[in-house]
């Protein structure tokens, strides 16, 4: 496990080595089941994740955690050495926690997360939980690449329904109303079920559960629902198809980033100065600049 | 103003026409001052924006609003026809509101927002307010491209300080503690000021203010601070430099997206099938796929 921590740090630090390592690891990945836990700040995602770790460990499954939400205590722990605030799991070798809170990363979390998942997967961890805040576009996209996406909400569903309407709804496989002891829990469950009936595709089959994560209540049923989702989608072939779609999208994103880098690296300094000047004078807009640079690139490609 | 609404809809619907329109508009942009309002859900951003509209209108300045936060009432209003829930501003022709909540857009909000800003700018609106939730990576990035970024927080600063630590801090020019009648407002102000002293660059000059947006309290001082920031950065040349940096980054992003599209559009169907098969068998990872496709593209470029 310390080896994995070093590996992830290496991947974050050195891009070429990262590529080599990930290429070698790739054939050994795909065995872990990946779970995305998302929801608004304050929904109790981290507490829920902690209860889920305990539940999975009780089922004798090893667990990796990737905390992407910057306000997650796992992230805070990770910043202090990956082991703080984990309570009973701090010394359990069947649990591995990693924070992805570092920003400014090339391509951001969308690019960095698949790599980190693969390292945990190749290590042999059987379940990988990604915790993201369910508000940002990139964050929701990351959760959506998980084999099973869990949306965590709290009673008093004005916010909940807004979040749901805003697009997170479409990507969730399991809905959890956490803090189920609060007023309005039943109503929120009802509202979610009603909205789900309007959802055409996988909505009708999505699970809707309530938990009280601070006491571990409902967590066994949640893990059952998640495991059921894994089994159902695996047997129907949907899981493989979905993963392939994610891999293809990842490859396409990399093509875009790589192409951009190659083009930008080969830019003539005089061209750059001319472009900057026409942007400054607002003669050429960014799209015009892009078109001109791409045309020049094709041209120079001809001469190679 | 209805013309602008039609223009933005056109831009969202037809990519080629959008490019043409934006190219023609670009020389007429750069006059508006752009303000990013960001912060966690529940900080009262929308109420604050509403008060700011009133303040700007009292100063005889026209205002455009771009609501990116999907839970913003402006967004909800926009979905119902751009005019709901605006209260006194619903019939004011000096105020124009637009929602950018539609997701799944090519390149997402990062790509769509600059275009929408330019339309409002070319319309002659003098101040443009972008409201984004300050949690997601893309959302924070969008707020960071504004000429002045305002981070809105609430008293009881556990969350506030977490948000700040997580990277939003670096991009804010003005900090607002809203709901200043709540317990702990003074302490939160203190904590922000302390953190700002640790920030090297523009931190020492960032404004820290408190507001009670529901009553409009403190909003005049906030607008003063924002206008001061505009004047200071304009006089020092920082504003022009900053905008040029944003335009360059936008052009680079477009180069990446365009290059990706050109490459993907020209992919041989047999190559695609082979690639998908090697992804499925986990023989080649997404980075390997990207490298192979790019190599093949350079090769085919030679033959052109």
Q: Over the stretch A260-277, which tens digit does the pLDDT of each residue have? A: 888 888 888 888 888 889
Structure confidence at residue A81 (pLDDT): 36
- Average pLDDT over chain B reads 80
Confidence tier at B298 by pLDDT (50, 70, 90): low
More confident position, A70 or B180: B180
Contact A137 B108 (CB under 8 A): yes
Structure confidence at residue B87 (pLDDT): 53
DSSP secondary structure code for residue B87 in this structure = G
Q: Rounded to an integer, what distance in angstroms lies between the CA atom of residue A236 and that of residue A220?
A: 24
pLDDT tens-digit map of B129-164: 998 876 666 777 787 789 999 989 888 755 555 555
Averaged pLDDT, A14-26: 85
pTM of the predicted protein model: 0.74
Contact A252 B240 (CB under 8 A): no
Nearest CA in chain A to B251: A286
Q: Which of A22, A137, A287 sits opposite B139 (nearest CB)?
A: A137
Closest CA to A285 of B65, B39, B20: B20
Report whether B211 contacts B76 (CB < 8 A).
no
Q: Rounded to an integer, what distance in angstroms lies between the CA atom of residue A242 and that of residue A246?
A: 6
Burial of A273 (C-beta count, 10 Å sphere; 0-12/13-18/19+): exposed
Whether A5 shows a pLDDT value over 80: the answer reads no
Whether A13 shows a pLDDT value over 60: the answer reads yes
DSSP secondary structure code for residue B204 in this structure = G
Structure confidence at residue A233 (pLDDT): 94
Q: Which of A138, A288, A294 sits opposite B259 (nearest CB)?
A: A294
Strand, coil or helix: B67: strand
pLDDT tens-digit map of B86-111: 555 656 777 887 776 544 444 566 77
B244 contacts in A (CB within 8 Å)? 276, 279-280
Beta bridge partners of B33: B127
Largest Cα span, chain A: 71
pLDDT tens-digit map of B185-241: 988 888 888 878 776 555 457 789 999 999 999 999 999 999 999 999 999 999 999
Q: What angle do CA A266, A267, A268 make, to 5 degrees?
A: 115
Contact A279 B248 (CB under 8 A): yes
**Chain centroid to CA B98:** 13
B140 contacts in A (CB within 8 Å)? 136
Nearest CA in chain A to B132: A136
Confidence tier at B36 by pLDDT (50, 70, 90): very high
Name residue, tokens 């003539």. A268
More confident position, B53 or A204: B53
User: Mutation test of the interface with chain A: which of B137, B303, B304, choosing the one with the most A Cβ atoms within 10 A?
Assistant: B137
pLDDT tens-digit map of B239-278: 999 999 999 988 988 888 888 888 888 888 888 888 889 9
Q: Which of A23, A108, A109 sits opposite B288 (nearest CB)?
A: A23
List alpha helices for chain B, DSSP H. Answer: 2-13, 15-25, 45-58, 73-79, 108-122, 137-144, 158-163, 185-198, 219-236, 238-265, 269-280, 286-303
More confident position, A236 or A104: A236
A270 CB neighbour count, 10 Å cutoff: 8
Structure confidence at residue B302 (pLDDT): 46
**Chain centroid to CA B151:** 12
B108 contacts in A (CB within 8 Å)? 137
Confidence tier at A146 by pLDDT (50, 70, 90): very high
pLDDT > 90: percent of chain B: 37
Burial of A79 (C-beta count, 10 Å sphere; 0-12/13-18/19+): middle
A85 contacts in B (CB within 8 Å)? none
Structure confidence at residue A244 (pLDDT): 94
From edge to edge, which strands make up the β-sheet containing A174-177?
Answer: A95-99, A63-67, A127-133, A33-39, A148-153, A174-177, A207-210
pLDDT > 70: percent of chain A: 76
Name residue, tokens 């089994």. A231
Averaged pLDDT, A237-251: 92
B27 CB neighbour count, 10 Å cutoff: 13
B45 contacts in A (CB within 8 Å)? none
A30 contacts in B (CB within 8 Å)? 282
Closest CA to B110 of B240, B210, B256: B256
Strand, coil or helix: B32: coil
Residues 6+ apart with CB under 8 A from A254: A111, B286, B287, B289, B290
Nearest CA in chain A to B109: A137
Q: Which of A22, A103, A159 sits opposite B285 (nearest CB)?
A: A22
Report whether B96 contacts B120 (CB < 8 A).
yes
Torsion on CA atoms B42, B45, B46, B50, rounded to nearest 10: 140
Structure confidence at residue B84 (pLDDT): 37
Contact B285 A23 (CB under 8 A): yes
Structure confidence at residue B89 (pLDDT): 61
Q: Rounded to an integer, what distance in angstroms lies between the CA atom of residue A171 and that of residue A36?
A: 10
pLDDT > 90: percent of chain A: 37
Residues 6+ apart with CB under 8 A from B61: B94, B126, B127
Structure confidence at residue B268 (pLDDT): 83
Contact B29 A254 (CB under 8 A): no
Letter string b/e over residues B15-24, b meaning 16 or more CB atoms within 10 A of that residue's CB: eeebbebbee
Confidence tier at B79 by pLDDT (50, 70, 90): very low
Name residue, tokens 């070319």. B122
Torsion on CA atoms A54, A38, A181, B42, rounded to nearest 10: 140
Averaged pLDDT, A178-182: 92
């Amino acid at each position: 496990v310390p080896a994995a921590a070093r590996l992830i740090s290496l991947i974050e630090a050195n891009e070429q080595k990262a590529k080599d390592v990930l290429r070698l690891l790739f054939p050994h990945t795909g065995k872990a089941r990946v779970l995305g836990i998302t929801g608004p700040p304050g929904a109790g995602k981290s507490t829920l994740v902690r209860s889920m770790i305990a539940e999975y460990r009780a089922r004798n499954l090893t667990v990796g955690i990737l905390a992407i939400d910057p306000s997650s205590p796992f992230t805070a722990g990770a910043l202090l050495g990956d082991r703080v605030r984990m309570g009973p799991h701090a010394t359990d070798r069947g649990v591995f926690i990693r924070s992805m809170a570092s920003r400014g990363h090339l391509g951001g979390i969308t690019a960095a997360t698949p790599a980190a998942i693969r390292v945990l997967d190749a290590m042999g961890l059987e379940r990988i939980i990604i915790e993201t805040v369910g508000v940002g576009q990139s964050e929701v996209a990351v959760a959506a690449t998980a084999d099973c996406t869990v949306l965590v909400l709290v009673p008093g569903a004005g916010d909940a329904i807004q979040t749901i309407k805003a697009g997170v709804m479409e990507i969730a496989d399991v809905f959890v109303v956490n803090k189920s002891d609060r007023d309005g829990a039943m109503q929120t469950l009802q509202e979610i079920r009603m909205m789900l009936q309007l959802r055409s595709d996988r909505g009708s089959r999505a699970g809707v559960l309530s938990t009280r994560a601070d006491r571990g209540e409902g967590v066994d049923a949640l893990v059952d629902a998640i495991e059921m989702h894994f089994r159902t989608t695996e047997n129907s072939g949907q899981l493989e198809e979905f993963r392939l779609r994610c891999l293809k999208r990842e490859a396409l994103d990399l093509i875009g980033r790589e192409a951009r880098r190659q083009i930008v690296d080969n830019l003539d300094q005089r061209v750059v100065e001319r472009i900057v000047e026409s942007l400054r004078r607002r003669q050429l807009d960014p799209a015009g600049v892009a078109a001109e640079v791409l045309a020049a690139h094709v041209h120079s490609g001809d001469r190679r």
